[in-house]
Amino acid sequence: MNTLISKDGTKIAYKKQGTGPSLILVASAAADHKDAEQLAVQLAKHFTVYNYDRRGRGQSTDSSKYAVEREVEDIEALINEAGGNSFLFGSSSGAVLALEAANKLEDKVRKLFMYEPPFIIDDSRPPVPANYVQHLNNLIGEGKRNKAVEYYMSEALGIPSEYLEYMKAEPSWESIEGMAHTLAYDGMIMGETQSGRPLPVDRWEVNVPTSIVVGENSESYFHDAAKSLVELLPLAKYQTLSGQDHSAVMMAPEVLAKEMVNFYLYQNPNEISI
């Protein structure tokens, strides 16, 4: 892993691979660079890929006080390392972080690809509790990392409690526990956009081509959110990814990579080689 130092002194670890225009991958909640490794391999055939550990995860360090602005500065540091401008990709809450970066960094972001930003804008699923971030921080402060992950899984992801015991037996659960202190970070990134109310009309001014993609088989609230966001961004488009759901980053990297290459490099793509 390579490293760089962000504006506040935090060390950001990243893996650089491939050649071509730069592309930065922004991970979702409870994920580090390993979760996008296969996607990065596919994309490295066309891009110089920067697949990084967000602060507090993997080999990156953290600061004593979190702010969303610090994570935008991390992305800016990576863009500067990449030559001053870059394509940007984010999945789930990482897509919303990428959106915040595109809003703040303007022409440093060439194009933005968002996979399933998890806004909750209507009653198609229960909203995230208003005290979600505070409760997560309380659990972490009490050393209850396992409970924090359970709370995230049930309240943010909407996973029924009867499935959680099975999930705890998976090796990935221990990995998520290791990142549990960062779950509140993504809650802060989402802010009030998971409250069941419409998206704010004046939060983002992003004037670069933006693709908002949702898996065909994903829950309706993802589709509702994407369509709503398209209405707020002048150069955005919504599309579905056939046969896929929220796990496409890890489970269908070739399919997702093809759509990304189409968007970043081609105006009217038909068939490309991945």
**pLDDT at res. 269:** 41
Residue found under tokens 């081609």: 266
Return the amino acid letter for 81: E
What are the structural domain ranges in the chain? 2-119+201-265, 132-189
The mean per-residue pLDDT over the stretch 14-25 comes to 98
Strands 22-26 and 86-91: parallel
Architecture of domain 2-119+201-265: 3-Layer(aba) Sandwich (3.40)
pLDDT class of 266 with cuts at 50, 70, 90: confident
What pLDDT, on a 0 to 100 scale, did the predictor assign at position 64? Answer: 85
* pTM as predicted: 0.95
Tokens, residue 269: 């793509």
194-252 pLDDT, tens digit each? 999 999 999 999 999 999 999 999 999 999 999 999 999 999 999 999 999 999 999 99
> What pLDDT is recorded for position 5?
98
The token pair at 174 is 């221990």
Q: Where do the H-state alpha helices sit in the chain? A: 37-43, 68-81, 93-105, 132-141, 145-151, 161-168, 171-178, 183-190, 220-232, 248-251, 253-265
Question: Residue 272: which pLDDT band, with cuts at 50, 70 and 90?
Answer: very low
Q: How does pLDDT run across 34-78, given as a tens digit for each residue? A: 999 999 999 999 999 999 999 999 999 999 899 999 999 999 999
pLDDT band at 274 (very low <50, low <70, confident <90, very high): very low
pLDDT, one tens digit per residue, over 123-166 is 999 999 999 999 999 999 999 999 999 999 999 999 998 899 88
DSSP reduced 3-state for 14: strand
Kindly indicate the confidence band of residue 267, based on its pLDDT and cuts at 50, 70 and 90.
Answer: low
pLDDT reported for residue 43: 98
- Token pair of 147, please? 């409970």
Residue 177 token pair: 């526990």
Percent helix, strand, coil in the chain, to 5, is 45, 15, 40
Query: What pLDDT is attached to residue 78?
Result: 98
Centroid of chain to Cα 151: 19
Q: Which positions ≥6 away from 48 have C-beta within 8 Å? A: 16, 17, 18, 19, 20, 21, 22, 23, 82
